[in-house]
Each structure stands twice: as C-alpha cells, then as structure tokens.
C-alpha cells in the first residue's frame, strides 16, 4: 500500500472519520509546557481502576518464572520471577544494562529465554510449565510493543502507518482499517495529522502514532521500552500523557522508564532491577518506602 500525497494545505481531509471531541477525555498534549520536569496529573474526572481498587483477580495474564537469558557467556537475566495481572501497570526501573529491556523483549519473544517459563494469556512460550503451547504469531497478536525508536514507515502517512497492520494482520478491508486507524489517531490526539508523513511530524507525534498503531490491534498487554528516551525534553510530556490515558483505560502495561514522576503516578507494581536480577519490588508508595540502599540511591539520582 502506498501513502497518499500530503494535502495541499498541509492538513488532511479527515471529516469522514472525525468525531466530536470531548474535552474531559481528549488527550491534548500540544498544551504541555515546554522544558523542565514533567508533572503528570490525573484528570479531575479520574476514577481508580478496578485493579487499583480490588487488586489482582484470576490468573496472571503474564507469568515469568525462573527466566534466564544469556548472550554467549554473558548472562543478562538471572532467574526473573514476575506475575502481571489484568489491568495492572508494572514499571521496571534500574540502571542501564540491568536487564529491563531484555525482560520486555523476552515477553514478546524478540529474545527467546534461555530457560524458564513464560506464560502469556494461558499459553506457554518458554520451557517450564504444562500450559498449552503458543506460537510467536499468536503471542504478538496478544502483546503490543512501543520501542525507543518510532519504527514508522517513512513513505506512509500517519493514517496508513496505523491501518497497514490492521489489513495485513487482522485482515480488515481498507475502508474498515482506515476507519479504525482514524479512531486510534483521534484517541492519541493526532487525527488532524492523519495525512502527514513521519518527516512532517515531531518526535513526540511520531511516538504517539506508534502507540496508536499498537493499540489498534487490540492487544491484551502493552509493552513500552523507554518510549521517551529518544525525544527532546520538551516533547516528553505529550507522550507521557498519552501513556497515562492508555493506563487509565484499563490496559495491562509493562513500562521501562527513567521518568520517576510518571512511574510513581501509574505504577501498581514497581520493580527495581540491577545486574539481571530483581533487587526490590513494591506497590504504590514504593518510591517513598523502598528499603534497598541501591534502589534508594538510584531513585534519588534520577528524580
């Protein structure tokens, strides 16, 4: 599929897809203050999620047990145990090289675990349980991922970047795929940019298109691998607000980030890693109450 040329006025014709905006729910990241620390605030209408109110229910949607991963002689994950429940927001923090991103890449099999059990949505993808076996295609239809880099097709518009996997993976018609893509762009506040190419978008806008693309496939779990690390500081806030809106929608999320303010706001389970192991973990209040000297030192350093 080829992208359509930019509209002569620089604005796409999206009337066929647009819905009335609702100010109390619409994401408006362009209103973010430029520069400085990012203060992520809950909207006035926020209601605690079912997970916040009730805690875990049922079996974990993702379960890692004894996960190890080696690259040659270098062992980067040394027996990771982690349960992630429906609607839970898990935040992984720690210094560079601690294994956080490898945990994410293991969950969607971009890196196959050397040993241990990986169960996602009731299917085993590692080697350690009696759950029914799943395949990588099935897993990636269940788990969406947003990377540090945006990975958008430069020759496709924002609308086409979101619509393409809906056609190729879900088998939707072009009309249905574009309608769904437009809805997801509206959800992240970018419907007005639907006809723009990646080169015509800021880094923050490109990352929000990448988030819309992942959400369009209706994943049960969303993985975010330091999605703001490649952005200029003044663009970080718009992506964090989009991610917060995704969290408040009830999506199960696993996030690797150095944005401690955001982590404190959304993290139901917060995990500090170093040297391939979980050093300490805890729920809300973790950043004020953790006891590991190394975790305390790290949190102070990145505030």
Instruction: Confirm whether 161 is domain-assigned.
Output: no
pLDDT at 126: 87
For the stretch 237-278, pLDDT in tens is: 999 999 999 998 999 999 999 999 899 989 999 999 999 999
Q: What is the CATH number of the domain that holds 221?
A: 3.40.50.300
Please indicate, yes or no, if residue 9 is contained in any of the structural domains.
no
Expressed as residue numbers, the domain containing 235 is: 62-154+199-302
pLDDT mean by block of 10 residues, the chain; 303 residues: 43 42 38 38 50 78 96 95 95 95 95 94 83 84 91 96 94 96 95 96 95 95 92 89 91 94 92 96 92 94 83
Q: Is the distance from CB of 125 to CB of 139 less than 8 angstroms?
A: yes
Query: What is the widest separation between alpha-carbon atoms in the chain?
Result: 59
Q: What are phi and psi of 118, to 5 degrees?
A: -125, 110
Distance of CA 296 to the CA centre of its chain: 25
In this structure, the strands spanning 74-84 and 89-93 are: unpaired
Question: Is residue 7, in this structure, part of any structural domain at all?
Answer: no
**Phi, psi for 259 (deg, rounded to 5):** -85, 90
- Structure confidence at residue 274 (pLDDT): 96
Helix (H, G, I), strand (E, B) or coil at 15: coil
C-alpha to C-alpha distances, 165 to 61, 141, 285, nearest whole angstrom: 24, 11, 39
Query: Who contacts 72 (Cβ-Cβ below 8 Å, separation ≥6)?
Result: none
The helix or strand, by DSSP H or E, that contains position 279, with its residue range, turns out to be: strand 277-282
pLDDT score recorded for residue 49: 61
Q: Which two tokens stand for residue 209?
A: 């298109």
Cβ distance 89 to 247 under 8 Å?
A: yes
Instruction: Identify the pLDDT of residue 57.
Output: 77
Angstrom distance (rounded) from CA 76 to CA 127: 18
Q: How far, in Å, CA of 221 to CA of 37, rounded?
A: 28
User: What is the model's pLDDT at position 199?
Assistant: 96
Measure the CA–CA gap between 74 and 82, rounded to whole angstroms: 22
In a domain, 174, yes or no: no
HSE-up of 23 (CA within 13 Å, CB side)?
1
Residue 86 lies in a domain: yes
Q: What is the pTM of this model?
A: 0.82
Instruction: Assess if residue 282 is contained within a domain.
Output: yes
The neighbouring-strand residues paired with 127 are none
**95 part of a folded domain:** yes
pLDDT number for residue 41: 43
Helix (H) or strand (E) holding 54: helix 50-54
Domain tally, the chain? 1
Do 1 and 160 meet the contact criterion of CB atoms below 8 Å apart? Answer: yes
| 291 within some domain | yes
Residue 145 and residue 219: Cα distance in Å, rounded? 9
């Amino acid at each position: 599929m080829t992208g359509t040329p930019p509209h002569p006025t620089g604005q796409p014709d999206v009337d066929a897809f647009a819905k009335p905006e609702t100010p109390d729910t619409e994401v408006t990241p362009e209103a973010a203050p430029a520069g400085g620390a990012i203060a992520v605030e809950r909207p006035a209408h926020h209601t605690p999620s079912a997970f916040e109110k009730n805690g875990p229910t049922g079996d974990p949607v993702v379960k890692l047990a004894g996960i190890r991963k080696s690259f040659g002689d270098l062992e980067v994950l040394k027996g990771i145990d982690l349960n992630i429940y429906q609607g839970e927001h898990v935040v992984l923090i720690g210094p560079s090289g601690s294994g956080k991103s490898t945990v994410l890449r293991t969950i969607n099999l971009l890196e196959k675990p050397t040993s241990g059990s990986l169960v996602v949505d009731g299917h085993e993808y590692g080697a350690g349980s009696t759950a029914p076996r799943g395949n990588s295609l099935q897993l990636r239809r269940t788990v969406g991922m947003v990377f540090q880099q945006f990975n958008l097709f430069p020759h496709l518009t924002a609308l086409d970047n979101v619509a393409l996997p809906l056609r190729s993976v879900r088998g939707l018609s072009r009309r249905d795929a574009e309608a769904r893509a437009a809805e997801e762009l509206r959800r992240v506040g970018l419907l007005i940019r639907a006809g723009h190419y990646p080169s015509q978008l800021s880094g923050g806008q490109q990352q929000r298109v990448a988030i819309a693309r992942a959400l369009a496939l209706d994943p049960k779990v969303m993985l975010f691998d330091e999605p703001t690390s490649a952005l200029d500081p003044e663009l970080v806030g718009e992506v964090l607000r989009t991610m917060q809106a995704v969290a408040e929608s009830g999506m199960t999320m696993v996030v690797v980030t150095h944005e401690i303010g955001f982590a404190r706001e959304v993290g139901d389970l917060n995990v500090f890693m170093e040297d391939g192991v979980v050093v300490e973990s805890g729920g809300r209040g973790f950043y004020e109450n953790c006891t590991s000297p190394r975790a305390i030192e790290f949190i102070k350093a990145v505030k």
